[in-house]
Every structure is written in C-alpha cells, then in structure tokens.
Amino acid sequence: MTSAVNHKWRALVPAVAAVLLGALLAYAIARPPPIAATYLDFDAFYCGAQILAQGHDPYRYEPLHTCETHNLTPAVPNAVVPVPLPPYAIAAFVPLARLAYPRAQFIWWLLLIAAGLAIVWVLAEMTGFSLAFLGAPVLISMVLPSLTVGNLAIVPIALLLLSALAMRRARWTAAAALQTIACVEPHVALPVMLAAGVFVPQMRLRLALGVAAIAALSLAAGHVSLNAEFIAAVAPAHAISEIANAEQYGSSAMLRAAGLTDRTATLVANLQYAAFVLAGLWLVRTLRTRMPESIVFVPMALAVTGGPFIHVTQIAAAIPLALCVARHSSGWVAWTALAAIAIAIPWQASIGYGGIAAAVVLFSILARARVPLVAAGFAAVAAAAVLEFLQRPELHRPPIAAIPAVAASALAEVPWSRLAAQFPPTAFSWYGHALIYAGFACLYWSLGGLVRAINDA
C-alpha cells in the first residue's frame, strides 16, 4: 500500500514541476526581467517589423534610428543597426513587435534558449554523442554567442536540424515546413532546401509550396517595391558594409585584404558561394546513403564557409557536420576540425572571457577523443592562457569616433559601414580567421576521405 502511494506521488512530481515552471514563465512574461542592453540585433529586428507593419520602409535610416534609440541607448550618436532581411523575414517578427519592447525581448531570449536546447537534443539523436559531451561545443560555441547579442543565427540552425530529424522519421510535411521557416536566413536555408528537393522526391512538392508561401508573404508584407529594394539595393550594400570590419569572416573580406576592390571581392565571394552550393550537391549525392543527415548538414556547413557575408555566430552552422564527420571518422584530422571551429567561435565572439570558454570546449572535445584527462586538462589550461593573452589587446581598443549625420532617406547601411570601418582587422581577428579556416580545411579533408571510402567500397 505504501509503495503504491509513493509511486503515485512520484508520478505527480513532473506534472507539478511543469505547472510551477509554466506559472513562473507566465509571470516572467507578464513582468519581464531586464535581459541585456547589448541586444542590438533583436532591437533592429523588432523596429524593422514595427516599421514594416506601419507601412513604412524598414531599410532607411529613419524611422529605424528613432525606434532603435527609443529602446536601447546607442553607444555612438547617429549609429543604427540595419535590418538586412527580406520583407517576409521581417514580417515574421511582427507578432513580437506588437508587444512592449521589454516583453518582446524576454520572449526572444526564451526562444533562443529553446533553439539551443533543440540543437543539443537533435544532435544527440542524430550523432549518437551523449548530452554531457554535446553541452560544451553546442551551448558554448553555438548558443552563447547568439544569446549574448540576441542574434538570429541559432534559430534557423535549430529549425534545419529539426528538419533533418523529421526527414529521418519520414515526416516530410514537417521537414518542409521547418526548412521554409528557416529561410529567415535564406543564404543558410536555401542550399539545404535545394539538396532536399534534389535527393528526396517526397519533399519536392512540399518545398515548392513552401517557396510559394514565402513569395506570397513577402509580396503581402512589402509589395513589389520593398522586395525589389532589398534585392537591388539593400543586399548588395549590406554585403559591402562590413567588408573592412574585423568581425567579417566571409571570403570577400579576405579577398579585399589581398588587394581586390570591394565590389570585385564581393563578386568573387558570391561566385565562390554558388560553387560551394553545387559542391554540396555533389558531396550529398555520395554521402546520403551512409550519412542521411548529410542532406542537411553538408549544404548548411558549406553555406557558411566563405561567401560574401558571414558572422562568427553563423559559422556555428558547420559544427553539426564536424560532429557527424568526427563520429564517422576515426582520424585525428576530423577531431581537429571540430576543435578548431568550436574553439574559435567563443574565442572571437566573447571578448573578456572567450579564452576560458574556448578552453572548456577544448577539454570536452579532447576528453571525448580519448585523450587522457590529465593531458586534456593541461592542454585546456595552456590554451586558456594563450588565448586570453592573444585576446587582451582587444580590451583596449581606441574609443569609437562619432558618426556624421546622414539623410533620413539614406539606407541604414551608410552609417553602419562608417561604424564598421572603425573596427578594422587586427592580429587577434586574423588569428581567429586562421583557426576557423584551418578547421574548415580539416573538415572537408576528412569529408573527402569519407567520400573516397564510400566510392571504393
């Protein structure tokens, strides 16, 4: 009798915990706590959606600047964060933009946390790695950089990973819907949709309907004029706006540093992006029988390798492929790829504690790669010391100069490019570029080895 009663009480514990958690979240949403004054990206999305809903142009300096400064105090007068998203993607933020800013910001923070937890869960399901191991490379390298600034990057990554799991379970409609929503960052999601359409016949009609829905929403939200403006003016201007900035990891920035003009470097980077999309199709054609998840993981990683415009938060999209290759390959090169990419992201994104965060990731990866724990610990401590030392000059950058006023009708990229130019590449940023691209080189070398092994079998 007593054991039966105890069993009933134990069964009630999850339900009570869920009710209490729901009540806590409801209270927090009703009276949201302050999140961060650094949510500049979300502030731009929120304001862009408000402006779009009011029938105005979200790509111009005004009224975007007025809205952003109303929510967050800018560090520099006349500064503005652009909204480099197509109209349909801006429209996705309209429900949040109808809420008061503190509440919308808190809900966005919760959504980012949910996206991070979804990434951990899906990768555990897809790769077979334990949750304990995935915690460091996923939460520190993939989630934390986006969470600190309210960046969008991990949301489409989570959606695409969920679509991979849905395809594994033959839930084609859910997979197509997830990939369609992931097009809030089209340069990451569209290569995945292309690969799924080419290699999964059940997805073709569903994806075609998804693309039609995107087009309809974009025209309904922004009419022909805003869509044409985004394609012809905003996207090209934004691609060039950060080309001289230290935090730009696309191939265009490196080509510019090599001496090409901004426009030539951007053109070559666009061609490289297109070539990598096609290369992804070639790789998936061979890998999909042994690695079904490659239909999502390969094009997602190639989409953030070089190209005209990539931030370090978006490079996290390559980590799922690195994990998968490390699982399928016994060589040290595959683990080196994972370590290099997963270390570089928090190191470059988290000034002040990036070296320590990177060292935690390194220890986790070395321990999983069966390096003795003592050796892994020494390596992590040494890495933390070196990485923190190399990062130290970034703590003492010169103060930001004032930005000249611009016309209200100017594209937001005009003052943004002037702000970005005040942060040119440094030795620290080039160290990060070198580490990331060394990781990419090791990743695709290992992937090529898997392709060769499959072809030889």
**Cα–Cα distance for residue pair 147/154, rounded to 1 Å:** 9
Which residues are CB-neighbours of 122 under 8 A, at least 6 positions away? 158, 161, 162, 164, 165
Cα–Cα separations (whole angstroms), residue 118 to 71, 129, 164: 29, 15, 12
Nearest CA-CA partner of 314 in 438, 427, 154: 154
- Kindly report the backbone phi and psi dihedral angles of residue 156, in degrees, each rounded to the nearest multiple of 5, phi listed first: -65, -30
**Cα–Cα distance for residue pair 442/452, rounded to 1 Å:** 15
238 φ/ψ sector (left φ>0, alpha ψ -120 to 50, else beta) = alpha
Cα–Cα separations (whole angstroms), residue 90 to 63, 103, 237, 289: 15, 18, 18, 37
Which residues are CB-neighbours of 132 under 8 A, at least 6 positions away? none
Amino acid at 60: R
Nearest CA-CA partner of 305 in 361, 242, 239, 252: 252
pLDDT by position in tens, the chain (length 457): 455 545 554 455 455 555 555 655 564 555 565 555 567 788 899 999 999 999 999 999 999 999 988 888 777 888 899 999 999 999 999 999 999 998 998 999 999 999 999 999 999 999 988 888 888 888 888 888 888 888 899 999 999 999 999 999 999 999 999 999 999 999 999 999 999 999 999 999 999 999 999 999 999 998 999 999 999 999 999 999 989 888 899 999 999 989 899 999 999 999 999 999 999 999 999 999 889 999 999 999 999 999 988 998 999 999 999 999 998 887 889 999 999 999 989 888 876 677 888 888 888 888 887 777 777 787 888 877 887 777 777 766 777 777 888 899 999 999 999 888 888 888 888 888 999 999 999 999 999 988 888 887 6
Helix, strand or coil, per DSSP, at residue 334? helix
Q: Can you give the three-state secondary structure of 25-79, one letter per residue?
A: HHHHHHCCCCCCCCCHHHHHHHHHHHHHHCCCCCCEHHHHHHHHHHHCCCCCCCC
Residue with tokens 């990177």: 358
**Cα–Cα distance for residue pair 215/457, rounded to 1 Å:** 44
